[in-house]
Amino acid sequence: MKFALAFANTGPAVEPDGAVEFAQAAEAGGFESLWTVEHVVVPAGYESPYPYDKSGRMPGKEDSPIPDPIVWLSYIASATTTLKLGTGVMILPQRNPVVFAKETATLDYMSGGRLLLGIGVGWLREEFDAIGIPFNERGARTDDTVAAMRALWTEDQATYHSDFINFENCMVRPRPAAGPIPIHVGGHSDAAARRAGRLGDGFFPAKGSHEELARLFDVARFSAQQSGRDPEAIEFTAGGNGVFGPNALDEAKALADLGVCRIVLPSFLFWGDARDKFAKYHDDVISKIN
């Protein structure tokens, strides 16, 4: 079982020294990866309902700092050696696919192949409006962007034409370190599960009971089969709020039985004395499940 941390680019890790200290402590504590959250902007007084809390609002204040994931991950990549660098999630339809293919290829190459590209379609309509991307096109743009980036990452001279993206004979150098960057589809809907099966290397539902996770994983596997892909090749990641405290081992084992390969815990559980907290968690949980 792999253990990871969500919302890694928040809290104390917003600050340069705090980011390095937190990442190095996680790496020393046996964690596999850090996963960042993203919003380019948060429009004040937004009305779109946040789908991961009953309040409909994101945690924290509207003006809480959220460093850009690619820049933040590049910063900590130079201060770590084995820690995987995850975007959890990058709101892919908001990004220019050609520019983003270059940025991600560069980070992956420079870090020795450590990038895990978690993607999502987004939920904050007001943010899309500010960026100038039609909110209702976000699903189709996401699928299109994945295909275009994979072409740029793998083809000597990539050509791609669609309703949203058009380029011919384009070369992205450097290429990712070891072939296409793994793409992990985030989201807790059936549409996200089908997208993961259709084009993802992994699937990361942001919430769900054991029963709901099992159902979504089956949706992803079935979608993979329908698309002529190997359903067993999809790596399943799940949130791990319950994998903390006295029942942590039981919960971790239950998730493993569902087919989960990676458990992502909230980073705020380790804020303050991070190195000691990571070491204790490693002794209490990671060393006993692996």
Region 60-78: mean pLDDT is 97
E strand map for 100-182: 115-120, 158-161, 166-170
pLDDT of residue 131: 98
Check pLDDT > 90 for residue 241: no
Per residue in 26-53, pLDDT (tens digit) is 999 999 999 999 999 999 999 999 998 8
Indicate which CATH number applies to the domain containing 121: 3.20.20.30
Closest CA to 202 of 253, 251, 238: 238
Check pLDDT > 90 for residue 266: yes
Written as one letter, the residue type at 21 is: E
Check pLDDT > 90 for residue 85: yes
| Distance separating alpha carbons of residues 135 and 132, to the nearest angstrom | 9
Residue 172: give the domain boundaries. Answer: 2-289
CA-angle at 53, arms to 49 and 55, nearest 5°: 65
The pTM of the full predicted model, rounded to 2 decimals, is 0.97
Cis peptide before 49 (omega within 30 of 0): no
| pLDDT mean across residues, the chain | 97
Instruction: Kindly state the helix (H) or strand (E) to which residue 264 belongs, with its residue range.
Output: strand 260-266
Give the chain's domain count: 1
